[in-house]
Amino acid sequence: MCKNSFNLVWRFFNFNKSFENPCKNSHDAFFSSPISPLIYLLSKKLSPILKMMPPRKNMGRVSPFLLILLALGFFFATYNLVTMIIHNRVTRSSSITTSTSNNNGGSEWFDPVQESGLKSGDHRKFHVALTATDAPYSKWQCRIMYYWYKRMKERSGSDMGGFTRVLHSGKPDNLMEEIPTFVVDPLPAGLDRGYIVLNRPWAFVQWLEKATIEEEYILMAEPDHIFANPLPNLARGDHPTAFPFFYIKPSEHEKIIRKYYPEDLGPVTNVDPIGNSPVIIKKSILEKIAPTWMNVSLRMKDDPETDKAFGWVLEMYGYAVASALHGVRHILRKDFMLQPPWDLEVGKRFIIHYTYGCDYNMKGELTYGKIGEWRFDKRSYLRGPPPKNLSLPPPGVPESVVRLVKMVNEATANIPGWETE
């Protein structure tokens, strides 16, 4: 019995020799099996012990002490290997789910891209999509946005694919030939209660159902976005990427969030501090989230308490809650976007979001909340486009604001028929 058992152990672990110089095909096949790498690692662990074993011709006279030593070695090697595997799995899991607090009181999720050493983008194209109306205010922003999309698309480091302006006015407008556009229906009259942004999720639902989209990923963007640097695909597989907004705070509105995200689904921290834009996400995942996003947003708008608490960012909360309902968490990237005048430099960040007014005195000092001696505010141009060659900010104004105005000026100087719109 002792001799037969020892022979069995010898034959099994002598299998280790077949991996010393494997051919490519057998090596690939071996590691495609989930259990084979375990055998391989275990055999490597036991190689030093095997070298202590006598030649097979002496097998009948093997010392019981050596058998005990071999058994102990097998036990400790197995224990170490199993511990290593469990630790590795826990580490990989935490790379997706561990969070740390940031200065804004939100959550900034661990980025598996940076920890794994993978390069962001890895040549996976994404489709750029923004929702818009046919109002002059929306049109001129879309034209500038599309201009900079074309400028950045072909630059090194960009993973931008096609572009679509999802026009939710229900009819074509005069930019159909200038900007790739897909026309969808608006919500039924009165359903948005004057909150036009509610048309955004409904527009995406229709576009995803009816349009042919070649790319596997989608960037949800907005008219007041300008691409400041070539944008790679920041998503990682099924994990979309989003920008964390300091004013989206699900934990501070837990009572309201629980109306739409019940306790049995998990902690309220499962709701990311984001909106739907900018987000890079797999098309197949967005197709599942979009109808929920629409329905949750409509329910929120219909609830007076929620409507009062969330105000103009209600639809952003709608997307965040809808994502959580589908178990989708986002990798949060602060470098995804900057928002002048609060962010002072563009640096390596990808998108300028000019939603805030920029007001300064002639000393270059911010006068936010008060109209400045120099200002740039998109709301100054509700009825028509800004003129060409806007005056640059005075000395001392942050680089981000200077860069914004220069990019607007470049676009308006090169877009044909700018001031006719």
- Kindly report the CATH number assigned to the domain that includes residue 149: 3.90.550.10
Q: Report, as an integer, the average pLDDT of 338-359.
A: 98
Domain match, 18 and 137 both: no
Quote the pLDDT of residue 103: 36
Task: Single out the residue in 82, 97, 112 at which a domain terminates.
Answer: 97
Quote the pLDDT of residue 118: 43
Domain match, 223 and 259 both: yes
119 within some domain: no
107 within some domain: no
Element (H, E) at 241: strand 241-242
Task: Single out the residue in 97, 119, 140 at which a domain terminates.
Answer: 97
Task: Please state, in angstroms and rounded to a whole number, the distance separating the CA atoms of residues 101 and 266.
Answer: 19
DSSP state, 380? G
Q: How many domains would you assign to the chain?
A: 3
**pTM of structure:** 0.73
- Are 337 and 351 in contact by the 8 Å Cβ rule? The answer is yes
Domain match, 356 and 396 both: yes
Domain match, 171 and 306 both: yes
Domain match, 260 and 158 both: yes
Q: Which of 105-114, 166-175, 288-297, 397-406 has the lowest mean pLDDT?
A: 105-114
Domain match, 315 and 352 both: no
28 CB neighbour count, 10 Å cutoff: 10
Domain match, 305 and 406 both: no
Residue-wise pLDDT for 226-281, tens only, equals 999 999 999 999 999 999 999 999 999 999 999 999 999 999 999 999 999 999 99
- Residues spanned by the domain of 199: 129-335
Q: Which of 18-22, 58-62, 145-149 has the lowest mean pLDDT?
A: 18-22
105 within some domain: no
Domain match, 166 and 247 both: yes
Domain match, 345 and 326 both: no
Domain match, 31 and 150 both: no
Q: What is the CA radius of gyration of the chain?
A: 29
Task: Single out the residue in 97, 117, 150 at which a domain terminates.
Answer: 97
Domain match, 163 and 261 both: yes
- Are 374 and 357 in contact by the 8 Å Cβ rule? The answer is no
148 within some domain: yes
Q: Tokens 């679509």, residue? A: 164
255 within some domain: yes
